[in-house]
Amino acid sequence: MKYPNNIMKSNKKAINYSNRGMDLEELINETNEYYLEKDKALIFKKPTPIGISEAVYTPRGRIIKNGYFKSPSTLDYNGIYRGKYIEFEAKETQSKTSFPIANFHEHQLKYMKRVLNHGGICFVLLKMNHQVFLIKGEDIISFLEEETRKSIPYSYIVEHGKTIEEKWNPSLDYLKIVDEIYLKGENI
Amino acid sequence: MKYPNNIMKSNKKAINYSNRGMDLEELINETNEYYLEKDKALIFKKPTPIGISEAVYTPRGRIIKNGYFKSPSTLDYNGIYRGKYIEFEAKETQSKTSFPIANFHEHQLKYMKRVLNHGGICFVLLKMNHQVFLIKGEDIISFLEEETRKSIPYSYIVEHGKTIEEKWNPSLDYLKIVDEIYLKGENI
Protein backbone atom coordinates (compact mmCIF):
# COMPACT_ATOMS: atom_id res chain seq x y z
CA MET A 1 0.00 0.00 0.00
CA LYS A 2 1.33 3.39 -1.00
CA TYR A 3 -0.21 5.39 1.83
CA PRO A 4 -0.64 3.24 4.94
CA ASN A 5 -2.75 4.54 7.77
CA ASN A 6 0.13 6.10 9.41
CA ILE A 7 2.02 6.59 12.56
CA MET A 8 0.19 9.74 13.53
CA LYS A 9 -2.61 8.07 15.44
CA SER A 10 -2.20 8.93 19.07
CA ASN A 11 -4.13 8.99 22.31
CA LYS A 12 -2.89 12.44 23.20
CA LYS A 13 -5.51 15.17 23.38
CA ALA A 14 -5.26 17.05 20.14
CA ILE A 15 -5.42 20.80 19.83
CA ASN A 16 -4.78 20.77 16.15
CA TYR A 17 -6.37 18.47 13.61
CA SER A 18 -3.30 16.53 12.63
CA ASN A 19 -4.26 13.55 14.76
CA ARG A 20 -7.35 12.55 12.89
CA GLY A 21 -5.46 9.62 11.43
CA MET A 22 -5.98 10.65 7.82
CA ASP A 23 -3.19 9.79 5.49
CA LEU A 24 -1.71 12.33 3.13
CA GLU A 25 -3.73 11.24 0.12
CA GLU A 26 -6.98 11.61 2.08
CA LEU A 27 -5.98 15.05 3.31
CA ILE A 28 -5.20 16.19 -0.22
CA ASN A 29 -8.36 14.73 -1.71
CA GLU A 30 -10.46 16.41 0.95
CA THR A 31 -8.69 19.68 0.32
CA ASN A 32 -9.19 19.41 -3.44
CA GLU A 33 -12.90 18.83 -2.90
CA TYR A 34 -13.00 21.94 -0.76
CA TYR A 35 -11.23 23.94 -3.49
CA LEU A 36 -13.66 22.57 -6.06
CA GLU A 37 -16.72 23.51 -3.98
CA LYS A 38 -15.39 27.00 -3.35
CA ASP A 39 -14.40 27.20 -7.02
CA LYS A 40 -10.88 28.13 -5.98
CA ALA A 41 -9.10 25.60 -8.19
CA LEU A 42 -9.78 22.55 -10.36
CA ILE A 43 -7.29 19.96 -9.16
CA PHE A 44 -7.79 16.19 -9.24
CA LYS A 45 -5.92 13.04 -8.50
CA LYS A 46 -5.33 11.24 -11.75
CA PRO A 47 -6.91 7.81 -11.81
CA THR A 48 -4.30 5.05 -11.59
CA PRO A 49 -3.73 3.73 -15.08
CA ILE A 50 -5.09 0.20 -15.42
CA GLY A 51 -4.21 -2.47 -17.93
CA ILE A 52 -7.07 -4.80 -18.79
CA SER A 53 -6.39 -8.42 -19.73
CA GLU A 54 -9.97 -9.61 -19.56
CA ALA A 55 -13.31 -7.82 -19.67
CA VAL A 56 -16.86 -9.00 -20.13
CA TYR A 57 -20.01 -7.26 -21.26
CA THR A 58 -22.97 -7.35 -18.90
CA PRO A 59 -26.38 -5.67 -19.04
CA ARG A 60 -25.00 -3.11 -16.58
CA GLY A 61 -21.95 -2.31 -18.68
CA ARG A 62 -18.46 -3.57 -19.29
CA ILE A 63 -16.85 -5.28 -16.30
CA ILE A 64 -13.14 -5.91 -15.77
CA LYS A 65 -12.37 -9.52 -14.89
CA ASN A 66 -8.62 -9.25 -14.97
CA GLY A 67 -6.80 -5.99 -14.62
CA TYR A 68 -3.46 -4.79 -13.32
CA PHE A 69 -2.01 -1.49 -12.17
CA LYS A 70 0.45 0.26 -14.45
CA SER A 71 3.19 2.39 -13.00
CA PRO A 72 2.55 6.09 -13.57
CA SER A 73 4.99 8.13 -15.67
CA THR A 74 3.60 11.48 -14.65
CA LEU A 75 2.70 12.87 -11.21
CA ASP A 76 -0.33 12.14 -9.02
CA TYR A 77 -2.31 15.35 -9.25
CA ASN A 78 -2.86 18.03 -11.85
CA GLY A 79 -5.16 20.90 -12.62
CA ILE A 80 -5.57 24.62 -12.93
CA TYR A 81 -5.26 27.37 -10.32
CA ARG A 82 -5.47 31.09 -11.07
CA GLY A 83 -4.90 30.35 -14.74
CA LYS A 84 -1.75 28.33 -14.05
CA TYR A 85 -1.06 24.69 -14.77
CA ILE A 86 -0.24 22.82 -11.56
CA GLU A 87 1.11 19.29 -11.20
CA PHE A 88 2.36 17.63 -8.06
CA GLU A 89 3.16 14.40 -6.32
CA ALA A 90 2.30 13.30 -2.78
CA LYS A 91 4.78 11.22 -0.80
CA GLU A 92 5.07 9.94 2.74
CA THR A 93 8.09 8.56 4.44
CA GLN A 94 8.49 7.09 7.89
CA SER A 95 12.18 7.79 7.88
CA LYS A 96 13.02 10.64 10.26
CA THR A 97 16.35 11.52 8.75
CA SER A 98 16.03 11.51 4.98
CA PHE A 99 13.68 11.02 2.07
CA PRO A 100 14.82 8.27 -0.33
CA ILE A 101 14.77 9.31 -3.98
CA ALA A 102 13.72 5.74 -4.81
CA ASN A 103 10.23 6.85 -3.81
CA PHE A 104 10.01 8.35 -7.27
CA HIS A 105 10.05 6.43 -10.50
CA GLU A 106 12.93 7.54 -12.70
CA HIS A 107 10.59 8.88 -15.42
CA GLN A 108 8.64 10.88 -12.83
CA LEU A 109 11.74 12.93 -12.03
CA LYS A 110 12.36 13.57 -15.72
CA TYR A 111 8.74 14.48 -16.15
CA MET A 112 8.90 16.94 -13.24
CA LYS A 113 11.63 18.79 -15.07
CA ARG A 114 9.59 18.88 -18.25
CA VAL A 115 6.57 20.38 -16.49
CA LEU A 116 8.82 23.14 -15.12
CA ASN A 117 10.34 23.75 -18.56
CA HIS A 118 6.85 24.14 -20.00
CA GLY A 119 6.04 26.83 -17.45
CA GLY A 120 3.97 24.75 -15.05
CA ILE A 121 4.00 24.92 -11.28
CA CYS A 122 5.38 21.62 -10.03
CA PHE A 123 6.09 20.45 -6.51
CA VAL A 124 6.04 17.58 -4.05
CA LEU A 125 3.92 17.41 -0.91
CA LEU A 126 5.95 15.33 1.51
CA LYS A 127 4.77 14.02 4.85
CA MET A 128 7.70 13.38 7.14
CA ASN A 129 8.26 13.70 10.88
CA HIS A 130 4.57 14.53 11.46
CA GLN A 131 4.71 17.51 9.15
CA VAL A 132 3.70 18.16 5.58
CA PHE A 133 6.16 20.10 3.43
CA LEU A 134 5.74 21.66 0.03
CA ILE A 135 9.03 21.27 -1.81
CA LYS A 136 9.39 23.00 -5.15
CA GLY A 137 10.21 20.78 -8.11
CA GLU A 138 13.15 23.09 -8.80
CA ASP A 139 14.64 22.19 -5.40
CA ILE A 140 14.22 18.46 -5.96
CA ILE A 141 15.85 18.73 -9.39
CA SER A 142 18.77 20.84 -8.21
CA PHE A 143 19.42 18.44 -5.32
CA LEU A 144 19.57 15.56 -7.79
CA GLU A 145 21.86 17.44 -10.13
CA GLU A 146 24.27 18.58 -7.44
CA GLU A 147 24.32 15.56 -5.16
CA THR A 148 25.15 11.94 -5.63
CA ARG A 149 23.29 10.87 -2.47
CA LYS A 150 20.32 8.61 -2.93
CA SER A 151 18.17 10.40 -0.41
CA ILE A 152 17.38 13.95 0.50
CA PRO A 153 18.40 14.77 4.09
CA TYR A 154 15.73 16.11 6.39
CA SER A 155 17.79 19.28 6.87
CA TYR A 156 17.55 20.02 3.13
CA ILE A 157 13.79 19.56 3.29
CA VAL A 158 13.45 21.89 6.27
CA GLU A 159 15.68 24.46 4.60
CA HIS A 160 14.01 24.42 1.17
CA GLY A 161 10.49 23.28 1.94
CA LYS A 162 7.57 25.19 3.42
CA THR A 163 5.45 23.51 6.06
CA ILE A 164 1.72 23.34 5.52
CA GLU A 165 -0.36 23.43 8.65
CA GLU A 166 -3.01 20.73 8.97
CA LYS A 167 -6.25 22.32 9.99
CA TRP A 168 -9.99 22.16 9.58
CA ASN A 169 -11.50 22.76 6.18
CA PRO A 170 -9.46 22.69 4.11
CA SER A 171 -7.36 20.06 5.83
CA LEU A 172 -4.20 20.99 4.02
CA ASP A 173 -4.31 24.42 2.43
CA TYR A 174 -1.38 23.97 0.09
CA LEU A 175 -2.60 26.66 -2.31
CA LYS A 176 -1.88 29.24 0.37
CA ILE A 177 1.78 28.21 0.08
CA VAL A 178 1.52 28.20 -3.72
CA ASP A 179 0.32 31.81 -3.49
CA GLU A 180 3.23 32.72 -1.25
CA ILE A 181 6.04 31.12 -3.16
CA TYR A 182 4.89 31.22 -6.78
CA LEU A 183 2.25 33.89 -7.21
CA LYS A 184 3.10 36.68 -4.81
CA GLY A 185 2.62 40.08 -6.33
CA GLU A 186 0.05 38.78 -8.81
CA ASN A 187 -3.43 40.19 -8.52
CA ILE A 188 -6.02 37.71 -7.38
CA MET B 1 -17.65 1.09 -27.38
CA LYS B 2 -17.06 4.81 -27.34
CA TYR B 3 -14.91 5.01 -30.43
CA PRO B 4 -15.76 2.21 -32.87
CA ASN B 5 -13.48 1.53 -35.78
CA ASN B 6 -15.35 3.84 -37.92
CA ILE B 7 -17.00 4.41 -41.21
CA MET B 8 -13.96 5.93 -42.79
CA LYS B 9 -12.45 2.72 -44.06
CA SER B 10 -12.71 2.79 -47.79
CA ASN B 11 -11.23 1.19 -50.88
CA LYS B 12 -10.81 4.52 -52.62
CA LYS B 13 -7.26 5.54 -53.38
CA ALA B 14 -6.28 8.02 -50.71
CA ILE B 15 -4.26 11.13 -51.32
CA ASN B 16 -4.52 12.28 -47.74
CA TYR B 17 -4.06 10.14 -44.67
CA SER B 18 -7.62 10.28 -43.42
CA ASN B 19 -8.40 6.82 -44.73
CA ARG B 20 -6.05 4.88 -42.52
CA GLY B 21 -9.00 3.69 -40.49
CA MET B 22 -7.79 5.17 -37.23
CA ASP B 23 -10.46 6.41 -34.95
CA LEU B 24 -10.33 9.83 -33.39
CA GLU B 25 -8.90 8.66 -30.09
CA GLU B 26 -6.05 6.87 -31.85
CA LEU B 27 -5.28 9.94 -33.95
CA ILE B 28 -5.17 12.13 -30.85
CA ASN B 29 -3.04 9.71 -28.85
CA GLU B 30 -0.57 9.42 -31.70
CA THR B 31 -0.45 13.19 -31.99
CA ASN B 32 0.09 13.64 -28.26
CA GLU B 33 2.99 11.17 -28.40
CA TYR B 34 4.47 13.19 -31.22
CA TYR B 35 4.11 16.40 -29.18
CA LEU B 36 5.72 14.67 -26.21
CA GLU B 37 8.68 13.43 -28.25
CA LYS B 38 9.23 16.85 -29.78
CA ASP B 39 8.72 18.41 -26.34
CA LYS B 40 6.05 20.68 -27.80
CA ALA B 41 3.40 19.98 -25.16
CA LEU B 42 2.62 17.62 -22.29
CA ILE B 43 -0.90 16.42 -22.98
CA PHE B 44 -2.32 13.04 -21.96
CA LYS B 45 -5.56 11.16 -22.06
CA LYS B 46 -6.75 10.74 -18.50
CA PRO B 47 -7.08 7.10 -17.51
CA THR B 48 -10.71 6.03 -17.27
CA PRO B 49 -11.65 6.04 -13.60
CA ILE B 50 -12.17 2.49 -12.38
CA GLY B 51 -14.11 1.26 -9.38
CA ILE B 52 -12.71 -1.90 -7.82
CA SER B 53 -15.03 -4.39 -6.12
CA GLU B 54 -12.52 -7.20 -5.81
CA ALA B 55 -8.75 -7.33 -5.91
CA VAL B 56 -6.22 -9.98 -4.99
CA TYR B 57 -2.56 -9.81 -4.11
CA THR B 58 -0.21 -11.90 -6.20
CA PRO B 59 3.59 -12.16 -6.25
CA ARG B 60 3.51 -9.90 -9.30
CA GLY B 61 1.41 -7.21 -7.61
CA ARG B 62 -2.21 -6.41 -6.95
CA ILE B 63 -4.63 -7.73 -9.56
CA ILE B 64 -8.18 -6.53 -10.15
CA LYS B 65 -10.69 -9.39 -10.23
CA ASN B 66 -13.81 -7.30 -10.43
CA GLY B 67 -13.80 -3.72 -11.64
CA TYR B 68 -16.19 -1.38 -13.38
CA PHE B 69 -15.88 1.85 -15.34
CA LYS B 70 -17.01 5.05 -13.67
CA SER B 71 -18.43 7.86 -15.74
CA PRO B 72 -16.02 10.77 -16.03
CA SER B 73 -16.98 14.18 -14.63
CA THR B 74 -14.18 16.04 -16.34
CA LEU B 75 -12.92 15.94 -19.93
CA ASP B 76 -10.83 13.29 -21.69
CA TYR B 77 -7.49 15.05 -22.10
CA ASN B 78 -5.51 17.65 -20.22
CA GLY B 79 -2.06 19.09 -20.01
CA ILE B 80 0.17 22.07 -20.56
CA TYR B 81 1.09 23.87 -23.77
CA ARG B 82 3.16 27.05 -23.92
CA GLY B 83 2.54 27.61 -20.25
CA LYS B 84 -1.24 27.33 -20.64
CA TYR B 85 -3.58 24.80 -19.11
CA ILE B 86 -5.44 22.87 -21.82
CA GLU B 87 -8.36 20.51 -21.39
CA PHE B 88 -10.48 18.97 -24.11
CA GLU B 89 -12.89 16.27 -25.06
CA ALA B 90 -12.93 14.06 -28.17
CA LYS B 91 -16.24 13.07 -29.74
CA GLU B 92 -17.35 11.28 -32.87
CA THR B 93 -20.77 11.21 -34.38
CA GLN B 94 -22.07 9.34 -37.39
CA SER B 95 -24.93 11.77 -37.79
CA LYS B 96 -24.41 13.97 -40.84
CA THR B 97 -26.76 16.74 -39.82
CA SER B 98 -26.24 17.48 -36.16
CA PHE B 99 -24.25 16.61 -33.06
CA PRO B 100 -26.43 15.46 -30.14
CA ILE B 101 -25.64 17.20 -26.85
CA ALA B 102 -26.43 13.90 -25.12
CA ASN B 103 -22.93 12.85 -26.13
CA PHE B 104 -21.77 14.84 -23.13
CA HIS B 105 -22.53 14.05 -19.53
CA GLU B 106 -24.35 16.93 -17.85
CA HIS B 107 -21.48 17.54 -15.41
CA GLN B 108 -18.97 17.60 -18.27
CA LEU B 109 -20.69 20.66 -19.73
CA LYS B 110 -20.66 22.42 -16.36
CA TYR B 111 -17.05 21.47 -15.93
CA MET B 112 -16.15 22.90 -19.35
CA LYS B 113 -17.49 26.24 -18.22
CA ARG B 114 -15.47 26.08 -15.02
CA VAL B 115 -12.23 25.41 -16.90
CA LEU B 116 -12.91 28.48 -19.03
CA ASN B 117 -13.68 30.58 -15.93
CA HIS B 118 -10.37 29.52 -14.42
CA GLY B 119 -8.51 30.74 -17.48
CA GLY B 120 -7.90 27.41 -19.17
CA ILE B 121 -8.08 26.66 -22.87
CA CYS B 122 -11.00 24.29 -23.36
CA PHE B 123 -12.43 22.80 -26.53
CA VAL B 124 -13.97 19.78 -28.22
CA LEU B 125 -12.43 17.82 -31.08
CA LEU B 126 -15.38 16.52 -33.05
CA LYS B 127 -15.22 14.02 -35.87
CA MET B 128 -18.23 14.40 -38.13
CA ASN B 129 -18.80 14.03 -41.86
CA HIS B 130 -15.25 12.73 -42.39
CA GLN B 131 -13.73 15.87 -40.90
CA VAL B 132 -12.29 16.78 -37.52
CA PHE B 133 -13.32 20.13 -36.08
CA LEU B 134 -11.95 22.05 -33.13
CA ILE B 135 -14.87 23.81 -31.48
CA LYS B 136 -14.11 26.23 -28.68
CA GLY B 137 -15.73 25.50 -25.35
CA GLU B 138 -17.09 29.05 -25.42
CA ASP B 139 -19.05 28.23 -28.60
CA ILE B 140 -20.50 25.04 -27.13
CA ILE B 141 -21.55 26.91 -23.97
CA SER B 142 -23.12 29.82 -25.82
CA PHE B 143 -25.05 27.44 -28.07
CA LEU B 144 -26.45 25.71 -25.00
CA GLU B 145 -27.35 28.97 -23.33
CA GLU B 146 -29.06 30.47 -26.37
CA GLU B 147 -30.74 27.42 -27.85
CA THR B 148 -33.23 24.92 -26.58
CA ARG B 149 -32.34 22.35 -29.25
CA LYS B 150 -30.86 19.10 -28.06
CA SER B 151 -28.29 18.91 -30.80
CA ILE B 152 -25.89 21.26 -32.49
CA PRO B 153 -26.60 21.57 -36.23
CA TYR B 154 -23.77 20.83 -38.60
CA SER B 155 -24.04 24.37 -39.98
CA TYR B 156 -23.21 25.78 -36.51
CA ILE B 157 -20.19 23.50 -36.30
CA VAL B 158 -18.94 24.54 -39.73
CA GLU B 159 -19.49 28.20 -38.89
CA HIS B 160 -17.83 28.17 -35.45
CA GLY B 161 -15.39 25.28 -35.68
CA LYS B 162 -12.02 25.08 -37.38
CA THR B 163 -11.19 22.00 -39.41
CA ILE B 164 -8.00 20.13 -38.59
CA GLU B 165 -6.36 18.43 -41.49
CA GLU B 166 -5.41 14.78 -40.99
CA LYS B 167 -1.89 14.25 -42.15
CA TRP B 168 1.29 12.36 -41.50
CA ASN B 169 3.12 12.93 -38.22
CA PRO B 170 1.47 14.39 -36.34
CA SER B 171 -1.78 12.82 -37.50
CA LEU B 172 -3.94 15.62 -36.18
CA ASP B 173 -2.03 18.80 -35.49
CA TYR B 174 -4.64 20.45 -33.29
CA LEU B 175 -2.11 22.66 -31.53
CA LYS B 176 -1.63 24.52 -34.81
CA ILE B 177 -5.27 25.55 -34.51
CA VAL B 178 -4.81 26.34 -30.81
CA ASP B 179 -1.98 28.70 -31.84
CA GLU B 180 -4.22 30.36 -34.41
CA ILE B 181 -7.31 30.88 -32.35
CA TYR B 182 -6.03 31.27 -28.80
CA LEU B 183 -2.40 32.28 -28.85
CA LYS B 184 -1.92 34.45 -31.90
CA GLY B 185 0.27 37.41 -31.22
CA GLU B 186 2.03 35.68 -28.34
CA ASN B 187 5.72 35.03 -28.73
CA ILE B 188 6.68 31.42 -29.02
Q: Of the candidates A67, A78, A119, which has its C-beta nearest B64's C-beta?
A: A67
Beta bridge partner(s), residue B63: A68, B56
Question: A114 and B39 in contact by Cβ < 8 A?
Answer: yes
> Over 60: is that where the pLDDT of A41 sits?
yes
pTM here is 0.84
Task: Determine whether the interchain pair A39/B78 forms a contact, defined as Cβ–Cβ distance below 8 Å.
Answer: no
- Min Cα separation A74/chain B (Å): 10
Q: In DSSP terms, which residues pair with B90 in a beta bridge?
A: B125
Count Cβ neighbours within 10 Å for each residue of A29-44 and write b for 16 or more, e otherwise: bebbebbbeeebbbbb
* Strand (E) or helix (H) holding B63: strand B61-69
The pLDDT tens digits of the residues spanning A106-144 come to: 899 999 999 999 999 999 999 999 999 999 999 999 999
Closest to A93 measured CA to CA, from A69, A62, A124 = A124
Among A69-83, A150-164, B83-97, whose mean pLDDT is lowest?
Answer: A69-83
Write the pLDDT tens digit of every residue in A69-103.
Answer: 887 789 999 999 999 999 999 999 999 999 999 99
* Domains annotated on chain A, with CATH: 24-182 (3.40.1350.10)
Least Cα separation, residue A64 to chain B (angstroms): 5
CA dist list (Å): A54 to A69, B25, B53, B54, B60: 14, 21, 15, 14, 17
